[in-house]
């Protein structure tokens, strides 16, 4: 079953993905493991898109299948007992509407027991500031896949500082082209190399 869900997503077999997820949940499968299987499938699809084996239409379709599958899994992730491990605000910065990576990180964070506010895509700096202040979040995660997003990440970090929140909030960034140079440019605290690494960073920064 594990391989079939991943393979079905790679082959864009929507019915097989959704029925596979439902069957696995019915059998008591670990929902976090199912998210990982979907993540693996999306990783392969992303590589095929880069290699021009898949086109934009396939990429869009895979994202829709992924969202539908996650919608089936999420109710099984909401049974955490006790206080959340931390509060996180996440979103794709202004000018960028890519959200697959962000959605995976959001789901994994919720799996681990974090209280996550997902602001969506094309989010202006002020919205990150307002939500961080409102929720008391210790961590803000900025996502972006396009290189112009780097300027928006920098602007958001600066907006946090201007609002007097920078000393209270750690800021991590992520996305395909993000690396340490972008961290240095934007003034963020760190970057997630992948979704699992982003969750580890949340554990590190929310426990400080």
Q: Which domains does the chain possess?
A: 2-76 (1.10.1240.10), 87-206 (3.40.50.280)
Convert the pLDDT of each residue in 79-102 to its tens digit.
544 567 899 999 999 999 988 889
The closest alpha carbon to 90, from 207, 204, 195, 208, belongs to 195
Q: Which residues contact 47 (CB under 8 A, 6 or more apart)?
A: none
pTM given for the model: 0.74
Supply the Cα-derived Rg of the chain in whole angstroms: 17
pLDDT digits (tens, 9 = 90+) for 144-171: 998 999 999 999 999 999 999 999 999 9
- Residues ≥6 apart with Cβ < 8 Å to 7: 41
Residue 207, pLDDT score: 81
What SS3 class is residue 15? helix
What does the pLDDT average to over 186-208?
Answer: 90
DSSP SS3 for 16: helix
More confident residue, 59 or 118: 118
pLDDT value of position 81: 47
184 vs 196: CA distance, rounded Å: 22
Residue 1 pLDDT: 44
């Amino acid at each position: 079953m594990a391989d079939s869900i991943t393979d079905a997503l790679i082959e864009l077999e929507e019915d097989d993905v959704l029925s596979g997820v439902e069957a696995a949940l019915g059998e008591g499968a670990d929902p976090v493991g199912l998210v990982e299987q979907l993540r693996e499938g999306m990783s392969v699809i992303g590589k095929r898109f880069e290699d021009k084996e898949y086109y934009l239409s396939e990429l869009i379709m895979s994202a829709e299948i992924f969202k539908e599958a996650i919608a089936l899994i999420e109710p099984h992730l909401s049974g955490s007992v006790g206080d959340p491990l931390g509060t996180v605000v996440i979103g794709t910065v202004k000018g960028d509407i890519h959200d697959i990576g962000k959605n995976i990180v959001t789901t994994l964070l919720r799996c681990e027991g974090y209280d996550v506010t997902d602001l969506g895509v094309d989010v202006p700096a002020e919205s990150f500031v307002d939500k961080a202040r409102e929720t008391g979040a210790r961590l803000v995660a900025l996502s972006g896949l396009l290189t112009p997003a780097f300027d928006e990440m920098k602007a958001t970090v600066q907006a946090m500082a201007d609002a007097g929140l920078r000393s209270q909030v750690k800021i991590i960034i992520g996305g395909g082209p993000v690396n340490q140079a972008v961290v240095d440019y934007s003034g963020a605290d760190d970057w997630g190399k992948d979704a699992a690494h982003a969750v580890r960073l949340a554990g590190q920064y929310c426990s400080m």
